[in-house]
């Protein structure tokens, strides 16, 4: 009897161990399901974020292209202005050198007085 009792207890313990193991496996399985669900949710969020970032980068690229085109237009206008200033500078240089060859107003007045004086002297001698 004692042996039967020990066998029964041993069988009960094995049954409890198997039941406990089954419960433990079910518990772990449910926890793994939660982890998988969380992973799927994070995966969706990452995909959405990647799609949004891709769209934003595309928008930024388009805006940079517009800015580049405007910059190129401004750069061309600056080149045209630079050419105009170069020609104005050359003309100004020519005008300055022409003015250096001419007499000043004061020198003109002095020369005019000398001519008048010489004309008077010549007319006085002639009479």
pLDDT tens digits, 4-26? 665 565 666 666 667 777 777 88
| Domain total of the chain | 1
Name the residue with higher pLDDT: 48 or 27: 48
Residue with tokens 């600056």: 78
Per residue in 67-95, pLDDT (tens digit) is 999 999 999 999 999 999 999 999 998 88
pTM summary value: 0.45
Structure tokens at 71: 């910059």
Residue 77: predicted pLDDT: 96
- Write the CB contacts of 90 (distance below 8 Å, at least 6 apart in sequence): none
CB 87 within 8 A of CB 95: no
Q: What is the pLDDT of residues 88-114, one digit of tens each?
A: 999 998 888 877 777 788 888 998 999
- pLDDT bin (cut points 50, 70, 90) of residue 125 is confident
- Rounded mean pLDDT, 61-69: 97
List of residues 6+ apart from 103 with CB closer than 8 A: 111
**Distance separating alpha carbons of residues 34 and 39, to the nearest angstrom:** 8
Residues spanned by the domain of 101:
2-126
Interacting residues of 111 by C-beta distance below 8 A, sequence separation 6+: 103
């Amino acid at each position: 009897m004692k042996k039967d009792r020990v066998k029964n207890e041993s069988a009960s313990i094995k049954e409890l161990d198997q039941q406990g193991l089954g419960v433990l496996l079910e518990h772990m399985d449910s926890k793994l399901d939660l982890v998988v669900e969380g992973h799927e949710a994070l995966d969706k969020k990452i995909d959405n974020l990647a799609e949004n970032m891709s769209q934003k980068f595309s928008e930024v690229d388009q805006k940079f292209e517009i800015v580049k085109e405007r910059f190129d237009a401004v750069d061309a206008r600056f080149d045209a202005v630079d050419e105009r200033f170069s020609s104005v500078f050359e003309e100004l240089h020519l005008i300055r050198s022409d003015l250096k060859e001419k007499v000043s107003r004061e020198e003109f007045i002095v020369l005019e007085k000398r001519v008048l004086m010489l004309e008077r002297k010549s007319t006085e001698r002639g009479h």
